[in-house]
Amino acid sequence: MNLPGPSVFQSGGGDMGAKMRAFDWARTPLGPIAGWSVALRVTVDQMLASKFPACLFCGPDLIAIYNDGYQTILATKPQALGQPMRETWREVWPQLQPIAERALEGESTFIEDYQIHIDRNGRMEDAWFTFNYGPVFDEHGQVIAMLDTVVETTSKVLAERHAREERAHQQRLLQQMPGFVAVLSGPEHVFDYVNDAYVQIAGTRELLGRSVRAAFPDLQGQGFFEMLDQVYATGMPLRAHALPVRFSHAAGERFIDLLYEPIRDATGQVRGIFAGGYDVSERVQAETELRQLNATLEQRVAERTLARERAWEALAETQDALRQAQKMEAVGQLTGGIAHDFNNLLAAVSGALQLMRMRLDQRQTDGLHAYLDMGERSVRRAASLTQRLLAFSRRQTLDPRPTDVNRLVQGMEEMVARTVGPSVQLAVEPAPAPWPTRVDASQLENALLNLCINARDAMPEGGRLVLATANRTLAEEEAAAHELPAGDYVCLRVTDTGTGMPQDIVQRVFDPFFTTKPLGQGTGLGLSMVYGFVRQSGGQIRVDSEPGRGTTMTLLLPRHLGDAEADDAGNAADPPGGGAGETLLVIEDEDIVRELLTEVLEDAGYTVLGAADGPAGLRQLQASGPIDLLVTDVGLPGGMNGRQVADAGRLLRPELQVLFITGYAEAATVGNGFMEAGMEVMTKPFDLAALVSRVREMLDRRPA
């Protein structure tokens, strides 16, 4: 029978609607579409029209029909249309089979944050999903299929787990404090947390979730409620020494040193109060007894107590001053070197611009390219400097790709030899069949060169430098000692025969600003930046050194389960050309940068749409016109960053190519190795010609 009204069997249903109509269903147990039941056709129509991820598993073999939303969840899976569920989800089929069988028996199952261990991009990892498996009935009441509506909750689960672990860690620290601690929230001062010392002084009573007034009616009239109200209202902390307090469960007065400190939210508003202190009753009692025993000593006792308090305050002030001095010394070392370098770079750029203006005013254009080259070289050096700082802070934007470490080391052999000089004998010992690793190759080259320079400096009279690679598998115990997950790693060792280091130096060698070089010959940032890069890449670096016996730096990088990328130099192609009228969307909040990008891309033959923030860019993506590639900054105003806009755009336009441009971004925001196919990143500043080439390359790589 024919279905009334419009049907995705005729048109619509997005990408998956088209694929479903083109699929040869006669090769499956479902048979040709013309023979499907009305109930099945209606259910397929409803599912394909929905924006919510859903998959219909039909018949006893659970043959898959799904919509565009579910296709996004299957992004790292092989084509699943028309395939049995046990094939598509084979690695977790033992978990899912009982739930699916209950659905085929007529029972609906809803599960939140369900954990499964799945294969993504050739790597097994944990993921969490909230889903409902529900039966689909035909007109006779027979179950003909199972409808799976699902959303991935991995990010939410991991964020909640991290927050719980962080709170538990903080509470463990507070629990171990000798003084009493409580955390109060809201104007009613409701207990969110108390440690054991607080319970000990407060006595057995219900605290958590109750206000101070409700939990401590015996404190009425002693001024504590009023002090809490004052701190919450004014935002000013309150300290009190030897404050008397009377509890109903204890005879007589107790005395406490007390601190009430306001807790503020991100906007600076007071949202709670930290209450802490010490029970000093024994001290107060001893002082009182001393005064009673010898009235003549009263004045001296008071003076001694005051002196002790002042000494404590003076010590605290001294410690604060020392910490501030250490902090400012470290910041001074950093800013001094960076300011010097940047001032030189700015002087070079400014001088080149001024000379060009002078020549143009004089109508002399000869030689202007030399000044342009000076400015461009200075800009590239400034970009390199900022990348070093981001590496030090582990905030750099990496572009990890499958990498053959043997090929990388052998490609650097000549440059390393020139750098270390003729007095150092260089040897390269590659592994016979090295595993690939997924890493930013240019940053690994920088790290290796930094280690080789350090090795050279440790061999002032010459020596031997060995660069070796190896495959290495870490079992649980060894991996834990390296602060790494158990598994396979690619090992890169840099060994010198230099002066070596004692253990106290080895323990500090990665500390920021720590250097053993003479003043002016080292900032102490080099090894810190190598350490930051390696850790950000999921690896570890270890030092083995003894005075007089040289040093070995060992880098461990996670194995990549796949092939390394081919050497670009060996597969050089003609440079990409310009545009052929394709439409690009550029989202950039800096007006000047957006105008420059628009102009150079339009000059290259593209139609360019522009937006200054995330919501404006999303509206362009929601419009009906063509958009072949999205170029977006990562940090955007308007409540949506570039990654969020790109993900939303992919839901609207699944084939959309995305090029992120960024000068700084948190790894989780851009992806750092977890970007989908068709997503790439360029780090500011970059050559405009390189941008045009990258755009052309990405458009040429689009699926046919």
Q: Which DSSP string corresponds to 523-581?
A: -S-HHHHHHHHHHHTT-EEEEEE-TTS-EEEEEEEEBPSSPPPPPGGGG--PPP---SS
3-class state of residue 299 by DSSP: helix
**535 neighbors 394 (Cβ within 8 angstroms):** yes
Q: What angle do CA 275, 280, 285 make, to 5 degrees?
A: 150
pLDDT at position 286 is: 85
Is residue 295 over pLDDT 70?
A: no
Region 21-32: mean pLDDT is 92
Contacts by residues 392-395 (CB-CB < 8 Å, ≥ 24 positions apart) = 392/512, 392/525, 392/528, 392/529, 392/532, 393/532, 394/532, 394/533, 394/535, 394/536, 395/664, 395/665, 395/666, 395/667
Radius of gyration of the chain measured on its C-alpha atoms: 33
Q: Return the residue matching tokens 């991935």.
A: 152
Does the model's pTM come out above 0.85?
A: no
pLDDT digits (tens, 9 = 90+) for 667-685: 445 554 456 888 898 887 7
Greater model confidence, 347 or 260: 260
Which of 69, 21, 18, 24 lies closest to 47 in space, CA to CA? Answer: 69
pLDDT digits (tens, 9 = 90+) for 85-130: 999 898 899 999 999 999 999 999 999 999 999 887 778 889 999 9
Average pLDDT over the chain, rounded to an integer: 82
pLDDT at position 666 is: 46
β-bridge mates for residue 262, sequence order: 273
pLDDT digits (tens, 9 = 90+) for 599-656: 989 999 999 999 999 999 999 999 988 999 999 998 888 888 999 999 999 999 999 9
Which of 79, 84, 53, 85 lies closest to 66 in space, CA to CA? Answer: 53
Is residue 177 over pLDDT 90?
A: no
pLDDT at position 573 is: 42
Q: Which two tokens stand for residue 345?
A: 């770079």
> What is the spatial distance between Cα 232 and Cα 236, in angstroms, rounded to a whole number?
8
Is residue 320 over pLDDT 70?
A: no
Q: For the structural domain made of 14-152, what CATH number should be given? A: 3.30.450.20
Which of 472, 488, 453, 485 lies closest to 554 in space, CA to CA? Answer: 472
Is residue 581 over pLDDT 70?
A: yes
**What is the tally of helices (H) and strands (E) in the chain?**
22, 22
Region 477-500: mean pLDDT is 91
Question: Which range, 329-338, 481-490, 577-586, is most confident?
Answer: 481-490
pLDDT at position 102 is: 94
Does domain 575-700 match CATH 3.40.50.2300? yes
Q: Is it true that the peptide bond before 98 is cis, omega within 30 degrees of 0?
A: no
Strands 123-137 and 238-246: unpaired
Helices 526-536 and 441-457 pack at an angle, to 10 degrees, of: 150
Is residue 175 over pLDDT 90?
A: no
What's phi and psi for 424, nearest 5 deg?
Answer: -110, 125
pLDDT digits (tens, 9 = 90+) for 368-392: 777 677 667 766 666 655 655 554 4
Architecture, CATH, for domain 401-558: 2-Layer Sandwich (3.30)
- Residues counted in the chain: 704
pLDDT digits (tens, 9 = 90+) for 657-671: 999 998 754 444 555
Distances (CA, A) of 603 to 338, 588, 694: 37, 18, 15
Q: Where are the domains of the chain?
A: 14-152, 177-293, 401-558, 575-700
Task: Express as a percent the part of the chain with pLDDT over 90.
Answer: 37
> What is the spatial distance between Cα 25 and Cα 34, in angstroms, rounded to a whole number?
10
pLDDT band at 570 (very low <50, low <70, confident <90, very high): very low
Fold that domain 177-293 belongs to in CATH = Beta-Lactamase (3.30.450)
pLDDT band at 239 (very low <50, low <70, confident <90, very high): very high
Which of 540, 336, 555 lies closest to 450 in space, CA to CA? Answer: 555
> What is the spatial distance between Cα 85 and Cα 145, in angstroms, rounded to a whole number?
12
Region 247-266: mean pLDDT is 88
Question: Which range, 134-138, 518-522, 686-690, is most confident?
Answer: 134-138
Per-residue burial over 248-284, b = 16 or more CB atoms within 10 Å of its CB, e = otherwise = eeeeeebbbbbbbebeeeeeeebebbbbbbbbbbeeb
Is 575-700 in the same CATH topology as 14-152? no
> What is the spatial distance between Cα 77 and Cα 239, in angstroms, rounded to a whole number?
61
Distances (CA, A) of 265 to 262, 268, 272: 10, 5, 9
pLDDT band at 398 (very low <50, low <70, confident <90, very high): low
Greater model confidence, 539 or 294: 539
